[in-house]
Structure 1
Amino acid sequence: MTAAAPAVAPTAIPKPPSKSMGAWALDVLIWGGVAVLLIYSFGPVELGNVTRLFSNNENTQNFARELLRPDFTDWRLFVEKMWETVQIALWGTFIAVFLAIPMGLAAARNIAPVWVVTPVRWVMNLLRSIPDLVIGLLFVVAVGLGPLPGVLAIALNTAGVLAKLFSEAAESIDKGPVEGVRATGASKLHEINWGVIPQVAPLWTSFALYRFESNSRSATVLGLIGAGGIGQVLFDRMNAFDFQAVSAIVIIIVIAVTLIDMLSQAMRKRLL
């Protein structure tokens, strides 16, 4: 006679995940603080006056009617200035990438020593914290009106943003390829060139293309302070209450930004 097989115990159903009281208290503290901040800031941001959008209905209707009748009489000037705006964004982004690559590597904690990382991160924070409009005004005072202040303002502000993104991408790489290169007796530069750059290049490319799209819009705003491009023409036509020309300029800006977005997507598919 053979021994009977032991009975198999039924599979126990695991308990649903639960949070500790400390985790619940932290969630309540964080989200409760956000709710309190929103309620507190309701008055200072004057959200109660949102009804003004509908109280002066006649002026709004007149403004909307003018915008719905775009005037493309000066379309050649608008297209020329829009092309200048794109060139400002292109050169500003290129210079920013050129600056952000060494800064991003120097700010990565797994690549550079702490005595290098700390001051580089201070510089990155400084570049990101100053609005590009303020930087543009400084360069307008320094070099005069024109597209050059716009290029320099976009370059510095974007360099701070990209350097942070580049450093975070470098810090999240797989250590295996770097250790493999190091095992061959290669120098630090070779480790970066063959172990780090191939891993971060796709992300860096995506970040740079996104910032180029964003800078195409930022360059338009910089034109309002005399930094060249379509923004300067837009500001002049708004001051002249030529809202039909404003409508035409806005349409050209939308078309240009859409084309840039399509080009950026095509480049991403090609490069990534």
Structure 2
Amino acid sequence: MTITTANANPTDTAPGRLSPEVRDALAPRWSGFVNKAAVAMILAVLLAVSYYPAEVDRWTYLITDAGNMAVFIADFLKPDFTDLGFFVIKMIETVQIALWGTVLSIIVGVPCALLSSNNIAPPWIVQPMRRLMDAARAINELVFAILFVAAVGLGPFAGVMALFIHNLGVISKLFSEAVEAIDPRPVEGIRATGASRLQQVIYGVIPQVLPLWSSYSLYRFETLVRSATVLGIVGAGGIGFTFYESFRSFQYDRASAVIIVVVVVVSVIDILSAQLRKRLI
């Protein structure tokens, strides 16, 4: 029995004869190759130019100073948990600093994000607000910590304010991008009922972006916990100062114990927040 197909095209299956569509798909994309090669070339040039300014040539010190590295690593492999209770207390303080920095930045970041969204606010409000948030985001939290330590003194509050200001710029950027990506139809439907601008935002915008906002907030909390661990170096509270003092006094075994505590706590927070994000999205 012979089965024939009415729509069969011999030119599509015959050896050495391809349809124009197939030939076009198989043809080399020279423009794409040239673009990728140009990007790779630019990257190579940038790496070559920055090789000596970044002192990458000092990598040989890792080998020539192997004796010092061996002593350093040997001490780190014998962590000293004698002051574990104190380390845990300071780590809890670090988490509390990150928590307050995150919550304050979210509270202030929501209106800032709405005022930074092109589909919510007019351009004469959006552009100045975005530049202000860019400034907050561009300055590292460690720099803010130094400024606030000088302003309010040593302690956790300086760390809270440093994380708050820096994270405000990041949160407003993430939140505003989520607002600009919403479906406009629910907002238009609410507007058709005669609702005010505030009611349109509350009932048409917030419900759409709330799951994404929650996910972003959890992610930023994870990030701030890691950032808060180093703020103590400049006296802004947390476990960073404990690590810095241990390292500066060559107590590498104690510094190793601090690092282990930080890694364990940050890992637990990452796992818990990842589970929460799955439930929210």
TM-score where L is the length of structure 1:
0.92
Give distance in 1, aligned partners of 2:220 and 2:82.
Answer: 32
Pairs aligned (count): 266
The answer to whether residue 176 in structure 2 is matched with residue 152 in structure 1 is no
Residue 268 (structure 1) shift: 1.7
CA RMSD of aligned residues (A): 1.9
Which residue of structure 1 aligns with residue 188 of structure 2? 179
Which residue of structure 2 aligns with residue 230 of structure 1? 239
The answer to whether residue 133 in structure 2 is matched with residue 135 in structure 1 is no
The answer to whether residue 97 in structure 2 is matched with residue 88 in structure 1 is yes
Counterpart residue identity of residue 116, structure 1:
I
Counterpart residue identity of residue 38, structure 1:
L
Q: How does 1:1-272 map to 2 (within 5 A)?
A: 10=9, 12=19, 14=21, 15-16=24-25, 26-272=35-281
SS in 2 for 1:16: helix
Contact 2:113 2:175 in 1 (8 A): yes
Counterpart residue identity of residue 55, structure 2:
E
Which residue of structure 2 aligns with residue 3 of structure 1? none
TM-score where L is the length of structure 2:
0.89
- CA separation of 1:270 and 1:8: change in aligned 2, threshold 3 A: closer
Unaligned runs of 5+ in 2: 1-5, 13-18
- CA separation of 1:9 and 1:261: change in aligned 2, threshold 3 A: closer
Give distance in 1, aligned partners of 2:227 and 2:199.
Answer: 37
Residue 35 (structure 1) shift: 2.4
Unaligned runs of 5+ in 1: 1-6
SS in 1 for 2:25: coil
Residue 21 (structure 1) shift: 7.2
Deviates more, 1:66-75 or 1:176-185: 176-185
Deviates more, 1:96-105 or 1:25-34: 25-34
Give distance in 2, aligned partners of 1:119 and 1:238.
Answer: 43
Counterpart residue identity of residue 249, structure 2:
A
- CA separation of 1:16 and 1:223: change in aligned 2, threshold 3 A: same
